[in-house]
Amino acid sequence: MPDASALLTDLYELSMLEAYAARGMTGSAVFELFFRRLPPERGFLLAAGLDQAVTFLEGMRFDAEDLAWLRDTGRFAPGFIDSLAGFRFTGDVDAVPEGTAVFADEPVLRVTAPLPEAQFVETRLLNIVHFQTVIASKAARMVLASGGRQLVDFGLRRAHGGEAGLFAARAAWLAGFDATATVLAGRRFGIPLMGTMAHAFVEAHDGETEAFLDFARTRPAGLCLLIDTYDTERGAARVAALAPRLAAEGIAIAAVRLDSGDLAYHARAVRGILDAAGCGAIRIFASGGLDEARIARLAGAPIDGFGIGTALTTASDAPALDCAYKLQAYAGRPRRKRSEGKATWPGAKQVWRRLAADGTILGDTVGLHDEPPTGTALLRPVMRAGRRVDPATADLAAARQRAAAALASLPPALRRLEPGTVPVTISPAIRALAAAADRAAAGEP
Amino acid sequence: MPDASALLTDLYELSMLEAYAARGMTGSAVFELFFRRLPPERGFLLAAGLDQAVTFLEGMRFDAEDLAWLRDTGRFAPGFIDSLAGFRFTGDVDAVPEGTAVFADEPVLRVTAPLPEAQFVETRLLNIVHFQTVIASKAARMVLASGGRQLVDFGLRRAHGGEAGLFAARAAWLAGFDATATVLAGRRFGIPLMGTMAHAFVEAHDGETEAFLDFARTRPAGLCLLIDTYDTERGAARVAALAPRLAAEGIAIAAVRLDSGDLAYHARAVRGILDAAGCGAIRIFASGGLDEARIARLAGAPIDGFGIGTALTTASDAPALDCAYKLQAYAGRPRRKRSEGKATWPGAKQVWRRLAADGTILGDTVGLHDEPPTGTALLRPVMRAGRRVDPATADLAAARQRAAAALASLPPALRRLEPGTVPVTISPAIRALAAAADRAAAGEP
């Protein structure tokens, strides 16, 4: 299982661990995880993945097989490998709750732990938090574009592996999706499930009507029939003809699905066919290459819900964000990299948010964690001494409510998915600390 | 573990399974997995993921917990759920070996099995084969652009979850990468590992020189020092000054890594500093936002190797391909969907490749599997009656050699990553079968 082995990491984490151990560098370190820049396609992000990050930190360990394999590689000193058997994360984590809107340069997760531990967890922490934030942020755009119409995750098949499919289903639901087709995500996260039928089901039957009847009689609950296998309007006419026959058997057709062609055109035609036959209660569900822009363009079409695959679960327009996990302090001293275009702000930080009277976000300030607050603090205690201290971090439904509130609090232009973002101010105290850190580094021999 | 549970699927697969069972539709079905269209950024694909696909098909089952959970959902009839306990894949698979170049509309994997089995495996098969093919195809472009310089996968942190990181490492190595930083990929797939050090390691020390010394003395093998934490050229000068001191201790500095700024500029400056100090043997390794276009532009820079992250493991310019798994025949009859823009060619198919005398691919023909061959057949028997019959499908090193041969066989323009692709002809027999299938469907009441 990928998420259980401590070997799911970069080789350099192990190398640095050995070097830190050899030198006795086990003082307290502060690392922060943040998104450096937002791409033009993203005016805001929705923080996600914290629950899995905490689970990883609590459970991270090297098992006997990992250690035996490491020994076999001959890459590390035997004494160091032995020491890994007891290696645990014993540190503190402060983080922005899942479902919170965040912006560039804002720490979303801060680790305070002995340097080897804080360093070692870098790769998998980024792997977990980055991906779910990528998906939640993309899903949120679809939620905003949907105008309240039903949104269902159909994207497991094109997700990047199994864990991606599961995490994407979770992140999408967190962001406001109504359901997922991924069964294991239903089992693992309690997300509502929704599914229809495939073209193959229709094709395997000798006729479309026969396929509809078979499916309806076996799977009558929430019945959604796929009508575009051969000809969408003819499919709709067959549904209209079947509806009274099925009603006589006590079966209601809940919806039809369109999956190809000009969805607006076909939705109008199908709506007309169904309504003319007295089937006004049958809803129209659409799928096939949808993203937030297409959903927005379908605002006027008689479509009641959308199944969204690839654009959701791969976040295809921005499948990665510029996310980093950087050392901000060690052994009581601020630390900072100054690499071109990648300089970081030193010190353990906090984010304060200022809201208008109606709850709209006005702007954020990133300051040192012990500065006087200038708004509502976003980072909260999550783990202390290696244990989860906030059980609410495991409450996905609460995170989903938080996401809904976050979307409602965005400036109107961001809710309309227009370009732009929220202003983030770096506090004077951080700038002063950076200058001091640079002077100290310049004094190096 | 995501890849072990049969619940890692779409709900509709279960729904259709129940409907097929209720109707006794267990005749033999042929499904094919293919890539419908190539995006402009891809002139060819490298098939990948078959080994994991076969492992999935051999091991796919519902465990007791899965079944108990399904019962609790109340979504399915108890008798149907009971029948799932013994549900196995018992069918045949023919597939294109991993590392083969493939093009649009070519079946890369064909499943022949009782309809419920062939249908049910759709989602996870696509999930596995699509992703690894996406990554192998992207990695192959980097291999072609690299001019033989070292390529290392650094992308676990931005990959879409843990399995994506592992599968991406595998697909990249298959396509010709030299190593990965992902330790678990080394353990699981035997891929060579490579790693350096992080900026945090340098920052945690009071000076860069001290950090280099600590790392060198603990981790002397294949030593690569990261020199851009504060100032790249100053870092290079420190390395040059340290080299004789470390040499006296028996430690050779193998390489330095640059991770920011204008890599061509800094590489030249660093090369000059190292050469002037008699350190001509120290190689220069570059990382930071690289993709095949940037690698190509760095052709003239004195860079010996590249660490590639996000663009590789998310295939950021084309993170998904138009991949489908479609019913082509059932109960001895060809089947075909005719949805707008998504029509499929019916029948169990084969791909024949024609090569020039020097081995360059001239073109492919997709024909019915029992037509007279018009070239070398690409699909080969992989599974029979649910068991792997070709042990070579588990030989990753052989797949890597095949990929190298495949890249060498591409038309020169494709090897230069110019727009275009290889012509794929659909045989007259398939076209005739499609017309016949359409006539049969038109006869439906």
pLDDT tier at A1 (50, 70, 90 boundaries)?
very low
Q: A130 vs chain B: nearest CA distance in angstroms?
A: 7
Same domain membership, residue A291 and residue A162: yes
Same domain membership, residue A163 and residue A277: yes
Q: Output the 3-class SS for B86-121.
A: CCCCCCEEEECCCCCEECCCCEEEEEEEEHHHHHHC
Closest residue, chain A, to B312 (C-alpha): A320
- List b or e across A284-295, with b for residues whose CB sees 16 or more CB atoms inside 10 angstroms: bbbbbebbbebb
pLDDT tier at B439 (50, 70, 90 boundaries)?
confident
- Contact between chains at A8 and B319 (C-beta distance less than 8 A): no
Same domain membership, residue A283 and residue A158: yes
Note the pLDDT of residue B445: 41
Note the pLDDT of residue A443: 57
Considering only the beta carbons, identify the residue of B9, B123, B330 that sits closest to A204.
B330
Domain boundary among the residues B286, B313, B340 is at B313
Which segments within A77-236 are labelled E, that is strand? Answer: 92-95, 101-102, 107-114, 150-153, 179-180, 224-226
Round to whole Å and give the CA distance between A124 and A5: 10
Q: Greater confidence, B109 or A4?
A: B109
List the beta bridge partners of residue A306: A151, A286
Domain boundary among the residues A247, A282, A313 is at A313
- Contact between chains at B15 and A335 (C-beta distance less than 8 A): no
Domain boundary among the residues A313, A348, A363 is at A313
What is the edge-to-edge ordering of all strands in the sheet holding A333-334?
A333-334, A323-330, A28-35, A107-114, A92-95, A380-384, A387-388
pLDDT tier at A2 (50, 70, 90 boundaries)?
very low
Reported as a single tens digit per residue, the pLDDT across B312-355 is 999 999 999 999 999 999 999 999 888 888 888 999 999 999 99
Residues of B in contact with A16 (CB under 8 A): 197-198, 200-201, 215
**A56, A70, A183, A336, best to mutate vs chain B, most B CBs in 10 Å:** A183
Note the pLDDT of residue A100: 98
Same domain membership, residue A304 and residue A158: yes
Note the pLDDT of residue B441: 67
Nearest 5°: phi and psi at B414?
Answer: -70, -35
Average pLDDT of the residues in B30-57? 97
pLDDT tier at A445 (50, 70, 90 boundaries)?
very low
Note the pLDDT of residue A444: 53
3-class SS of residue A140: helix
Note the pLDDT of residue B442: 63
Average pLDDT of the residues in A142-160? 98
Residues of B in contact with A229 (CB under 8 A): 337-339
- Contact between chains at B160 and A131 (C-beta distance less than 8 A): yes
Note the pLDDT of residue B383: 98
Q: Are B125 and B109 spatial neighbours (Cβ–Cβ below 8 Å)? A: yes
Say if A142 falls within a structural domain.
no
- Contact between chains at A12 and B130 (C-beta distance less than 8 A): no
- Contact between chains at B158 and A323 (C-beta distance less than 8 A): yes
Round to whole Å and give the CA distance between A53 and A125: 6
Note the pLDDT of residue B256: 98
Q: A224 vs chain B: nearest CA distance in angstroms?
A: 10
Note the pLDDT of residue B443: 57
Same domain membership, residue A324 and residue A297: no
Average pLDDT of the residues in A195-214? 96
Q: A350 vs chain B: nearest CA distance in angstroms?
A: 20
Round to whole Å and give the CA distance between A233 and A212: 15
Task: Find all residues with CB under 8 Å of A244, minimum gap 6, and list them.
Answer: none
**Residue A439 clears pLDDT 90, i.e. is over it:** no
What is the edge-to-edge ordering of all strands in the sheet holding A376-377?
A376-377, A349-355, A361-368, A424-426
pLDDT tier at A442 (50, 70, 90 boundaries)?
low
pLDDT tier at A343 (50, 70, 90 boundaries)?
confident
Say if A200 falls within a structural domain.
yes
Residues of A in contact with B168 (CB under 8 A): 160
Strands A361-368 and A424-426: parallel
Average pLDDT of the residues in B394-406? 98
Structure tokens at A331: 């052994």
Round to whole Å and give the CA distance between B197 and B218: 12
Average pLDDT of the residues in B403-430? 97
CA Rg value for chain B: 26
Q: Are B160 and A164 spatial neighbours (Cβ–Cβ below 8 Å)? A: yes
**Residue B444 clears pLDDT 70, i.e. is over it:** no
Residue with tokens 């067959």: A238
Same domain membership, residue A152 and residue A113: no
Same domain membership, residue B202 and residue B86: no
- Contact between chains at A335 and B200 (C-beta distance less than 8 A): yes
Number of other residues whose CB lies within 10 A of the CB of residue B136:
31
Considering only the beta carbons, identify the residue of A23, A156, A335 that sits closest to B214.
A23
Round to whole Å and give the CA distance between A93 and A105: 18
Same domain membership, residue A119 and residue A156: no
CATH number of the domain at B123, please.
3.20.140.10
Say if A360 falls within a structural domain.
yes
CA end-to-end span of chain A: 47
Q: How many CB pairs under 8 A join A and B?
A: 365
- Contact between chains at A162 and B199 (C-beta distance less than 8 A): no
- Contact between chains at A203 and B5 (C-beta distance less than 8 A): no
Same domain membership, residue A420 and residue A329: yes
Say if A94 falls within a structural domain.
yes
Nearest 5°: phi and psi at B131?
Answer: -65, -50
Same domain membership, residue B93 and residue B42: yes
Say if B118 falls within a structural domain.
yes
Round to whole Å and give the CA distance between B75 and A192: 12
Round to whole Å and give the CA distance between A155 and A165: 7
Same domain membership, residue A196 and residue A308: yes
Say if A392 falls within a structural domain.
yes
For chain A, give percent helix, strand, coil, nearest 5: 45, 20, 35
Residues of A in contact with B81 (CB under 8 A): none
- Contact between chains at B123 and A73 (C-beta distance less than 8 A): no
Reported as a single tens digit per residue, the pLDDT across A107-141 is 999 999 999 999 999 999 999 999 999 999 999 99
Structure tokens at B91: 């069918």
Reported as a single tens digit per residue, the pLDDT across B163-172 is 999 999 999 9
**Residue A329 clears pLDDT 70, i.e. is over it:** yes
CATH number of the domain at B216, please.
3.20.20.70
Strands A387-388 and A380-384: antiparallel
On average, the pLDDT of chain A sits at: 96
**Residue A409 clears pLDDT 50, i.e. is over it:** yes
What is the domain range of residue B263?
147-313
pTM of this structure? 0.97
Nearest 5°: phi and psi at A351?
Answer: -120, 130
- How many domains, in total, are found in chain A? 2
On average, the pLDDT of chain B sits at: 96
Same domain membership, residue A276 and residue A156: yes
Average pLDDT of the residues in A25-45? 96
**Residue B74 clears pLDDT 90, i.e. is over it:** yes
Considering only the beta carbons, identify the residue of B11, B154, B184 that sits closest to A8.
B184
Round to whole Å and give the CA distance between B189 and B335: 39
Number of other residues whose CB lies within 10 A of the CB of residue A110:
23
Round to whole Å and give the CA distance between B195 and A297: 47
Say if A17 falls within a structural domain.
yes
Say if B141 falls within a structural domain.
no
Closest residue, chain A, to B212 (C-alpha): A19
